[in-house]
Amino acid sequence: MEKMIIEGGACLRGTVEISGAKNACLPIMAASIMAEGPCVIRNAPRVSDVNTLTEMLRFIGATVDFSDNGCSVRIDPSGVTGGDAPYEMVKKMRASICFLGPLLARFGRASISLPGGCVIGPRPIGLHLKGLAALGARIELNHGYIEAEADGLRGAEVFLAGRFGPSVLATANVMSAAVLAGGTTRIIGAACEPEIVDLAEFLISMGARIRGHGSHILEIDGVEGLSASEYTIIPDRIEAGTFMAAAAITGGEVVLAGARHDHLGAVVDKLAEAGVEIRRDGESVVVKGTGSVRNVDVATHHYPGFPTDLQAQLTALMTVSEGISIITEKVFPERFMHVPELNRMAANISIEGPSAIVRGVRELSGAPVMASDLRASAALIIAGLVAGGRTEVNRVYHIDRGYDGIEKKLSALGARIWREKGSL
């Protein structure tokens, strides 16, 4: 397994190109199997989750080709006649669940392994099943698999939010299935994340009739079929937010080329409160750290609130702030695996229920640490950028799931970071 080595202390300066959004790309690639011809997805990020989804597409019979240095994907679904997502694939990537709606809608049948638990806490799928059942799917859970069947889905009204608010991938599944259902579907309590809007726009580009995307109420008039389409996905707001935190913690100045300021409202607002200067500059966003970080309190929420996928990175930033920050996780209340590792680097964080109490310290100290999940690894790298001496982030494969060449991008900004073979 590889590890990332960081020698702390360099100030980040320069321009970084923001890649396409992983969380838009995955459901869009899965939905492409509903088209009656080959789709081309542009601006795909070169991350291992996209490779896992590609394996899954090939497994069910699609032909997938990459071009444009790996950033364009052509998906020809003509060989797909239905499909299963086996445990070996779903355990690698929970987002494989996003095949459920498209397979069911297009082929009347889907069998997907139940994803099971995950390091950031319980990941139920009840809302996915509730929404698809409302459209007329017969669903059984057998031997660890979701077995779904339908002789023809029909439009319905469904309330899709749960106790933690709307579900992103449940909305993706039910919206995708509703596109080929007879009649009109109303999803109330839909997720309104930019990645869901992007999926809706992709489906519309294939001929779907969807209204209300970007709000909590979606209306979908079913159509007979979907045609092939070429589509460019949005830039990754989580990658952009990660580079914002990295620039801020080093007191540097970084241009995030292609980042969408309008997708980052809550993040820009919180970082401004922390004393970080952020401005839009044409098609870019410019971030300037001022050398000191003010403590801020934040609670994660579904969009447009502060994203849970940037909670760990903000926590890393707050470890060197001037006071005490309370960071509350409202989406995945157990998502604090990065905390003991940050504490190994001399941070002072305690967990109280769903909150991390972060007492700012003057200096972090480089140490060997263990990445537990994708965003936790990003947080450890951010901390390593300012820690005294050398930080080793082990199990770096987590970061490759969602960041396209993070060490190359950080090196180009002046960070001292590289990859080595590791034993853990």
Q: Would you count residue 167 as binding ligand UD1 (CB under 6 A)?
A: yes
Q: Would you count residue 202 as binding ligand UD1 (CB under 6 A)?
A: no
Contact assessment for residue 308 and residue 373, using Cβ atoms and an 8 Å cutoff = no
Alpha-carbon 357 to chain mean position:
25
Q: Would you count residue 23 as binding ligand UD1 (CB under 6 A)?
A: yes
The first and second tokens of residue 159, run together, are 């309330």
- Which C-beta is closer to ligand UD1: that of 185 or that of 308? 308
Q: Would you count residue 169 as binding ligand UD1 (CB under 6 A)?
A: yes
Q: Would you count residue 125 as binding ligand UD1 (CB under 6 A)?
A: yes
Q: Would you count residue 54 as binding ligand UD1 (CB under 6 A)?
A: no
Q: What SS3 state is found at 148?
A: strand
Q: Give the shortest CB-168-to-ligand UD1 separation in angstroms.
A: 3
Candidates 126-134, 291-299, 390-398, 410-418: pick the segment binding ligand UD1 (CB under 6 A).
126-134
Contact assessment for residue 105 and residue 34, using Cβ atoms and an 8 Å cutoff = yes
Q: How far is the CA of 295 from the CAs of 298, 306, 378, in angstroms?
A: 10, 16, 20
Residue type, position 109, single letter? R
Q: Would you count residue 310 as binding ligand UD1 (CB under 6 A)?
A: no
- Which C-beta is closer to ligand UD1: that of 10 or that of 203? 203
Of 46, 92, 123, 216, which one interacts with ligand UD1 (CB under 6 A)? 123
- Which C-beta is closer to ligand UD1: that of 5 or that of 95? 95
User: What x/- string results for residues 325 through 364 when contact with ligand UD1 is judged by CB under 6 A?
Assistant: ------xx--------------------------------
Q: Would you count residue 111 as binding ligand UD1 (CB under 6 A)?
A: no
Q: Would you count residue 389 as binding ligand UD1 (CB under 6 A)?
A: no
Q: Would you count residue 168 as binding ligand UD1 (CB under 6 A)?
A: yes
Contact assessment for residue 10 and residue 416, using Cβ atoms and an 8 Å cutoff = yes
Extract the runs of DSSP E, i.e. beta strands, from 295-353: 298-299, 324-328, 348-352
Q: Which of 11, 71, 118, 192 is catalytic?
A: 118
Q: How far apart are CA 274 and CA 294, in angstroms?
A: 4
Extract the runs of DSSP E, i.e. beta strands, from 116-252: 138-142, 145-149, 157-159, 184-188, 209-211, 217-221, 230-232
- Which C-beta is closer to ligand UD1: that of 188 or that of 257? 188
Burial class (CB in 10 A: 0-12, 13-18, 19+), 421: exposed
Of 95, 197, 349, 367, which one interacts with ligand UD1 (CB under 6 A)? 95
Q: How far apart are CA 93 and CA 358, in angstroms?
A: 31
Q: Would you count residue 126 as binding ligand UD1 (CB under 6 A)?
A: yes
Q: Give the shortest CB-413-to-ligand UD1 separation in angstroms.
A: 25
Nearest to 39 by CA among 233, 228, 234: 228
Q: Would you count residue 234 as binding ligand UD1 (CB under 6 A)?
A: no
Q: Would you count residue 113 as binding ligand UD1 (CB under 6 A)?
A: no
Q: Would you count residue 170 as binding ligand UD1 (CB under 6 A)?
A: yes
Q: Would you count residue 162 as binding ligand UD1 (CB under 6 A)?
A: yes
- Mark residue 354 as left, alpha or beta (left: phi above 0; alpha: psi -120 to 50; beta: remaining): alpha
Residue 98 bears catalytic tag = no
Query: Hunting for tokens 């355990």 — which residue is that?
Result: 91
The residues assigned a catalytic role are 118
Residues forming the site for ligand UD1 (CB under 6 A): 23, 26, 95, 122-128, 162, 164, 167-170, 195, 308-309, 331-332
